[in-house]
Amino acid sequence: MHDEIDVRIARLFSELPEAGAEVGERALARALDALPTPQTRRRSPLRTVAVLSAAAAFVLALAAGALAAAGALHVSFGASSPRQTTATVSQLTVPAGARGIAAVVDGRLWLTTSSGLRLEGLPVTAAALSPHAQYVAAGIGDALVAIAPDGRRAWSHPTAGPVAAISWAPDGLRIAYIVAGRGGFRLHIIEGDGAHDELIDRAVRTVQPSWRADSLAVAYVAAGGTPVVYDLGHRSRQVVTSPSAREATQLAFAPRGRALAVATQHGFLVTGAGAPTNGGTFAPSVVAGVGWLDDQIVLAVDPASASDQGPFIQLFRLDHGEAIPMGQLIPPATIQALDTDGRRLTVTVSNRSGIRVFASSPAATVRKAQLPRLPALLQLAPGTRVGSVAVR
């Protein structure tokens, strides 16, 4: 009987589905990229010095070993631990002064926090860091899950479908999330401990909701493409009626006050700070992201194929109802994702050699920061699709 099972299992294994050809080619490319650079033997005129250095290092190593044996120093000998390579992320670094970084790459969450929480390649549908990066909320299967600083599930809330976007309120007490349901997407708000889930709107677009600085209002895009501000205190909705705001693609409340920046296909406007301010248009370019650094509006603009101009990040200052251009930064390649926490800009740029994530320091303006000169927080394989990235 066992012999028969041997044969049948072997046959079954050979009859299982195969990986797609494209998947295989992509995997091969990634595997080849991971190969270590072959070391060539070179004879250097400084060989004698090197030998002496090695001898000195050996003596030092012996001394270190003695200290280690005495418990005074932690030291390890032999081969280094295996390099932690992953399918897509070759580097993941929390920038100085930040608490954590999270990126959703090809439907997987990569996350590191300064408190030691680390997730590598967790399949998610969306994710968002809480303020100060203490917790992370993620869409896993048909549930909204909060992950605690120790890496364990803090709570899980079943949803009607996959979670498409998540936004944590600045005070950490509520989470707005968009979930796929029958016939469309719905906006919910749930408390930060997973209690009191509430349906806010039955027909919305999958644009990341944005919280007002006081955490008492959240902006989202209705199914028709119009921005809406939902006030939790009054349980009321205010529709942004300006024609310039139709077909909104991105929303961002200012880090202070009530100003809301609305990006559309070809431009942006600011509302909530007195009269709506039309920021300008970039036709035929596409606004890929919008955010705030202090009182400056940050706009990431990607050119349409018809344009010769490269992608750029445009800064504006609001002055008495006018959006005054402050300057441009030309990143080295196409912008995939942009996020701001009011003080820091995190941006993902891609070119043929790969994708990199940069973050400015809180004190620096984008212009001074010179993104290409900053160390990359993440390095991703070419062709990777970045869903979202955030530093908190």
Partner 1 sequence: MRERTDRDLVRRTRRGDRDAAAVLFRRYWQSAWRTAFVITGRRALADDVAADAFERAFAALDRFDDRRPFAPWLHRIVANRALDLLRSERRLADDEPPEPVDLQPDRDSGDRGLLAAVVELSLERRIPVILRYGVGMTPKQIAATLDLPVGTVNSRLARALEQLRDSFEAHDARRD
Segment interacting with partner 1, rule: CB under 8 A, options 20-28, 184-192, 229-237, 251-259: 20-28
For residues 324, 329, 333, 338, the Cα torsion angle rounded to the nearest 10 degrees is -60
Question: Which residue from 200, 264, 274, 184 is spatially nearest to 237, judged by alpha carbons?
Answer: 200
67 is a site residue for partner 1 (CB under 8 A)? no
15 is a site residue for partner 1 (CB under 8 A)? yes
DSSP-derived letter for residue 284 is T
Task: Say whether 9 sits in a helix, a strand or coil.
Answer: helix
Among 61, 64, 68, 86, binds partner 1 (CB under 8 A): 86
Among 92, 117, 133, 138, binds partner 1 (CB under 8 A): 138
152 is a site residue for partner 1 (CB under 8 A)? yes
- How far apart CA 300 and CA 250 sit, in angstroms, is 11
DSSP state string for 312-350? EEEEEEEETTEEEEEEEE--SSEEEEEEE-BS-EEEEEE
Phi, psi values for residue 138, rounded to 5°: -140, 145
143 is a site residue for partner 1 (CB under 8 A)? yes
160 is a site residue for partner 1 (CB under 8 A)? no
116 is a site residue for partner 1 (CB under 8 A)? no
Tell me the site size for partner 1, rule CB under 8 A. 52
42 is a site residue for partner 1 (CB under 8 A)? no
Name all contacts of 328-337 with Cβ < 8 Å and 24+ positions apart: 329/366, 329/367, 329/370, 329/371, 331/371, 331/372, 332/371, 332/372, 334/302, 335/288, 335/289, 335/300, 335/301, 335/302, 335/311, 336/288, 336/385, 336/386, 337/288, 337/289, 337/386, 337/387, 337/388, 337/389
38 is a site residue for partner 1 (CB under 8 A)? yes
Instruction: Please state the closest distance from residue 139 (CB atom) to partner 1, in A.
Output: 11
41 is a site residue for partner 1 (CB under 8 A)? no
36 is a site residue for partner 1 (CB under 8 A)? yes
Instruction: Please state the closest distance from residue 14 (CB atom) to partner 1, in A.
Output: 8
Among 94, 104, 128, 140, binds partner 1 (CB under 8 A): 140
Segment interacting with partner 1, rule: CB under 8 A, options 8-16, 202-210, 276-284, 334-342: 8-16
Interface residues toward partner 1, by CB under 8 A: 1-2, 5-6, 8-13, 15-20, 23-24, 26-28, 30-38, 79, 82-83, 85-87, 107-108, 119, 121-123, 138, 140-141, 143, 145, 147, 151-153, 156
